[in-house]
Amino acid sequence: MQLEPKEIWRDALSHIQLSISRTHFKAWFSSSSIVSIEDKTITIGAKNKIARAYFEDEFYEVIKSALTTVIKKEPIIKFTVVTAVEKKTVTETSNQADLFDSVVQDSAAAIQNEYMQATQLLGINPKYQFDNFIVGSSNRLAHAAAYAVAQNPGYAYNPLFIYGDVGLGKTHLIQAISNYLLKQDPHYKIVYCSSEVFLNEMVSAIKSQNVEPFRRKYREKQMLIIDDIQFIESKKGTQEEVFHTFNSMYQFNKQIIIVSDRPPEDMPYLEARLRSRFEGGMVVDINKPEYETRLAIIQQKCEEKGYILPEEILHFVAQRFESNIREIEGALTKIGSLTTIGGKEHITLKDAIHLFGGKTNKKNVRIKPNDIINAVCDTYNISLKEIKSAVRTERIAYSRQVAMYLLRTELHMPFIEVAQALNRKDHTTVMHAVTKIENLQESNEETKEEIEELLQMLKG
């Protein structure tokens, strides 16, 4: 079938954009078109004289090869200038004005798609970006270091060691680095692991007496990120492996990023050579955010969640929760659920105080693993025996996944312990469950509400 000039040019543009830089493509090929096709001669319209000069001098071969691919024979190419005004008067070519945009949009969508897939594969959250990370004096240095690393991996600060208490944004920052790099290049090779994953993979590699593929997997990458390394503090074998991985990656200027809940010098069981490696790079801490930063974070989170709350409630939350941003987010969700589940239209300060109590500290209920498992069984109306059994009907499997998710996110239990609590052998089942329920909460309002209700039930 004969292609229309418009279609030929659209296909050619798709080829061309793969062969030249994005900047050049955007600068010179926007508003370009095929003006005419006569026999073997194709006349290309450039938007101005400079663009035409570029076509003739710089991109002639690229254009010719793209057209040859599309029409499957070698054309003779001529160039002319078609200004925007001229274009408007020619109806046939005016359609072509959109061609460039549609090709650019297609490729932007494809890149976005690839990026989303890459984040999924890596197991990171695309929500954690630099531009929604609020910077204040408590985290300025950590943010600056992370940003520098994202822009110049391997060379800015290597290794980068970030430490601080739970819920202060460490994971957000290191995932922001990954998101930043993957957005530019979805094929950027990162290993992201919580040290438990590292540990578990290593144990099974050693067990199967096959450490080489494991080693290769880590060392072939361009960047290694280990979250919550404190977990391997007293595991000598893993430390050894981390150290070797470290050295071999470091040698080739590959970026290494480590997160911990405390500085290297406070990890007494850590082997001296590993500790001194950590100390040899950049060590930065994240502290508890001060009032203004908390308020800014609260505003940011409300914006993301689409909550419109009165000023006084924002201030109340900033005052009431001082030391953990995850708690702040939990509080906002709870307030938000007054509207979504509680059916309230306007939330008052009184409601908020009622939810969390006044300025006194929240009663310190300590949830135990069994509380979670029981609550899940109650909610989904299944028995303890069923949830721990091998049965995999949809309802039971789903309830089990919810329990795994809550054990992990609420009690921060190691994957392997979560697996054991539910009578499972394999920790990866838990990892999948956590990701699945996290994603479901984003895509499915019902799941989100169920989890919120479960949490309310547990925390009272």
- Residue 163 C-beta: closest distance to ligand ADP, Å: 9
CB of 21 to ligand ADP, least distance (A): 34
User: How far is C-alpha 9 from the chain's CA centre?
Assistant: 36
The helix (H) or strand (E) run that includes residue 193 is strand 190-194
Question: Which range in 27-35, 166-174, 204-212, 240-248 contacts Mg ion by CB under 5 A?
Answer: 166-174
- Residue 326 engages ligand ADP in binding (rule: CB under 6 A): yes
Q: Residue 412 Cβ, how far from ligand ADP at the closest point, in Å?
A: 9
Distance CA 79, CA 299 (A): 54
Burial class (CB in 10 A: 0-12, 13-18, 19+), 91: exposed
- The residue type found at 24 is H
How many residues are present in the chain? 460
Find which of Mg ion, ligand ADP, none residue 134 binds, CB within 5 to 8 Å per kind.
ligand ADP
Q: Which residues have a Cβ under 8 Å from the Cβ of 138 and sit 6 or more positions away?
A: 168, 286, 287, 288, 289, 290, 293
Nearer to Mg ion by Cβ, of 8 and 284: the residue is: 284
Residue 414 CB partners (closer than 8 Å, separation 6+): 196, 231
Identify which of residues 182 and 377 has a Cβ nearer to ligand ADP in the complex. 182
Question: Where on the phi/psi map is residue 357: left (φ > 0), alpha (ψ -120 to 50), or beta?
Answer: left
Residue among 57 and 131 whose Cβ is closer to ligand ADP = 131
Our finding on whether 171 is near Mg ion (CB under 5 A) is yes
CB-nearest residue to ligand ADP: 169
300 binds, among ligand ADP, Mg ion, none (CB under 5 to 8 A by kind): ligand ADP
Query: Residue 261 or residue 279: which is nearer to ligand ADP going by CB?
Result: 261
Does position 170 interact with ligand ADP (CB under 6 A)? The reply is: yes
Query: Is residue 166 part of the contact set for ligand ADP (CB under 6 A)?
Result: yes
Examine residue 239 and tell whether it contacts ligand ADP (CB under 6 A).
no
Map residues 85-104 to x or -, x wherever contact with ligand ADP holds by CB under 6 A: --------------------
Q: Which stretch binds Mg ion (CB under 5 A): 84-92, 165-173, 236-244, 332-340?
A: 165-173
Q: Distance of CA 98 to CAs 28, 398, 405, Å?
A: 15, 47, 47
User: Which is nearer to ligand ADP, 96 or 260 (by Cβ)?
Assistant: 260
φ, ψ for residue 450, nearest 5 deg: -55, -45
Nearer CB in complex with ligand ADP: 381/443: 443
Tell me the residue ranges of DSSP E strands in 6-117.
Answer: 33-38, 41-46, 76-81
- 196, 285, 329, 450: which one binds ligand ADP (CB under 6 A): 329
By C-beta, is 31 or 171 nearer to Mg ion?
Answer: 171
Is 178 near Mg ion (CB under 5 A)?
A: no
Q: Min. distance of Cβ 397 from ligand ADP in angstroms? A: 27
Q: Considering only CA atoms, which of 235, 240, 236, 285 is closest in space to residue 258?
A: 285
* Per-residue contact string for residues 101-140; x = within reach of ligand ADP by CB under 6 A: ---------------------------x---xxx----x-
Angle between helix axes 236-251 and 272-279 (nearest 10 degrees) is: 40
Residue 167 binds ligand ADP (CB under 6 A): yes
294 binds ligand ADP, rule: CB under 6 A = no
Contact 253, 158 (CB under 8 A): yes
Contact 125, 38 (CB under 8 A): no
| 68, 107, 204, 300: residue in contact with ligand ADP (rule CB under 6 A) | 300
User: Which position has the token pair 């593929």?
Assistant: 213
Binding site for Mg ion (CB under 5 A): 171
